[in-house]
Amino acid sequence: MTTQRLLVLNAGSSSIKFAVYERAPDPGALVTGQVENITAAARLIMRPADGKAETIALGQTDHVAALQEIMTHAVIPTGDGAIAGVGHRIAHGGLEFTEPTRIDETVVAKLKTLEPLAPLHQPHNLAAVAASHRVFPDAVQIACFDTAFHRGHPWVNDTFAIPRSYYDKGVRRYGFHGLSYDYVTDKLQSIAPDIATGRVIIAHLGNGASMCAVKDGRSIASTMGFSALDGLPMGTRCGQLDPGVLLYLLEHEGMSTAEITALLYKESGLKGISCLSNDMRELEASSDPAAKEAIDYFVFRIRREVGAMAAVLGGIDAIVFCGGIGENSATIRANVCEDMDWLGLQVDASANAKNALRINAGTVPILVIPTDEERVIARALVAALPSD
């Protein structure tokens, strides 16, 4: 009998992250990886579940060709290469899309209207949808949305204090990184059910960073808002910014909207403050005072949000770190929780250095949970596929 495979894609402007799964009730990844530097000197990096990572130079490559290379090098070697379904991470689902959705022309048209709300992500997500339809025309294609997890927010969290007519038009806080928060809250149910039903702050810290206040498994508040620019400083994104700064840049610096967009999305955050790098590993290794200042600002903003979310939740029963920085930087975790005894947060230095599951020495659990957004999409794919 033919064994079906599932393909999960997370596409950006110059890369496609992917994971290949065997179709199963709770699928596990057979191989993960990414194609980097699309349109330039592309390379395919693969990490088989039972083997060593491999890198293959591809040369000049577009998104369609990149998918074909993924098919050749990652899908076919895992079995017969039959792809039953392709799942896509889509940054913005707006008000309408709150569940995994089968993709057709009508859905794509609606998602294109949301591109101004996620200009760094949505166009490339949809480019991968178009490319995968060409490479895998017979596969079921579904979209999973980073905004969906947050759609049950209280009204006071989602509104801005501008004329209400704009809220009715969709100018409101949406929240992002929902697939990561979905995975972590589900994981808590299995490893710490007593915590899963409580008041939890989840910190998804990486090149993109946000935090979410979760109560009984549901999102109550999130640091990201109308766009993926809001909240915490990120690798190259500014995070929270006084809107008066935008007016100043327009009126007194003479900048165009395109120039401001590039500034806030690509030249700000850790990169902008440090004038060195958007990579936390490089900043932690640097002796440059500006690198330390960038780290200090990053930590300061996280600590502010911990306090704010504790207030929203009426206290906290646990804090969870995930994402590339959250999962791997013992320094950031320790600095965030320093002098937080008043919230019951205290780090066990030895457990923290080992990136252990539980790193708390105080009364409130502090957990480190590697997130797996691709697995959330794979599970949604299994549910969407017709039964045999």
What letter represents residue 184's amino acid? Answer: V
Would you please indicate which residues are annotated as catalytic (active-site) residues?
Answer: 146
3-class DSSP assignment, residue 11? strand
What is the C-alpha separation between 212 and 216, in angstroms, rounded? 13
φ, ψ of residue 38 to 5 degrees: the values are -60, 140
Q: Measure the CA angle with vertex 150, ends 211 and 379; round to 5°.
A: 100
The DSSP letter of residue 3 is: P
CA dihedral 340, 278, 187, 85 (to 10 degrees): 160
Question: CA 382 → CA 22, 77, 102, 126, 236, distances in Å?
Answer: 10, 21, 12, 21, 35
What is the C-alpha separation between 16 and 128, in angstroms, rounded? 8
Alpha helix ranges (H) inside 33-137: 63-70, 105-112, 122-135
Q: Is the dihedral of CA 79, 81, 83, 89 positive or negative?
A: positive
